[in-house]
């Protein structure tokens, strides 16, 4: 609604204390809206980590369906199903700002150093 004060109050929880005739405002903490990423995402297909998403606007050297052999020398090549689940749930690169990724593209192995960047 376009009532006076709505724009201001949207950033606060407020409590009206009728006994003391006071209004308490508590700021609502807004989550960080910046997306930080290496510019790609992967999923496991037949126990192999495969590039499934690339942010094209950031000059990422990876291509769709590249197979990830390793990230920072941690092998993702020919994993068992339980290991695939472990890496899917606990991504190696989550807390890192730089990674070295080794991929298989056709019959070639390529190595890239990537830095995490902010997208918005």
CATH code at position 80: 2.30.42.10
Say what the pTM is: 0.67
Q: Could you tell me if residue 91 is inside a domain?
A: yes
Per-residue pLDDT at 1 exceeds 60: no
By CB atoms closer than 10 A (0-12, 13-18, 19+), residue 73 is: exposed
Q: Could you tell me if residue 83 is inside a domain?
A: yes
Q: Could you tell me if residue 87 is inside a domain?
A: yes
Instruction: Give the pLDDT confidence of 9-66 residue by residue, as tens digits.
Output: 778 887 888 888 888 888 888 766 677 889 998 988 888 899 999 987 667 899 999 9
Q: Which H or E element spans position 108?
A: strand 108-115
Give start and end residues of each alpha helix (H) in the chain: 6-9, 81-89
Q: Could you tell me if residue 52 is inside a domain?
A: yes
Q: Could you tell me if residue 29 is inside a domain?
A: no
Q: What DSSP assignment string belongs to 29-55?
A: PPPP---EE-SEEEEEETTEEEEEEE-
Q: Could you tell me if residue 25 is inside a domain?
A: no
């Amino acid at each position: 609604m376009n009532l006076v004060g709505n724009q201001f109050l949207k950033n606060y929880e407020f409590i009206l204390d009728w006994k003391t005739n006071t209004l308490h405002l508590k700021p609502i903490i807004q989550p960080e809206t910046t997306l930080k990423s290496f510019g790609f995402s992967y999923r496991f297909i037949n126990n192999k980590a495969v590039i499934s998403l690339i942010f094209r606007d950031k000059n990422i050297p990876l291509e769709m369906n590249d197979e990830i052999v390793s990230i920072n020398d941690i092998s993702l090549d020919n994993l068992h199903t339980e290991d695939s689940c472990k890496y899917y749930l606990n991504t190696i690169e989550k807390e890192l700002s730089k990674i070295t990724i080794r991929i298989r593209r056709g019959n070639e192995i390529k190595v890239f150093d990537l830095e995490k960047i902010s997208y918005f």
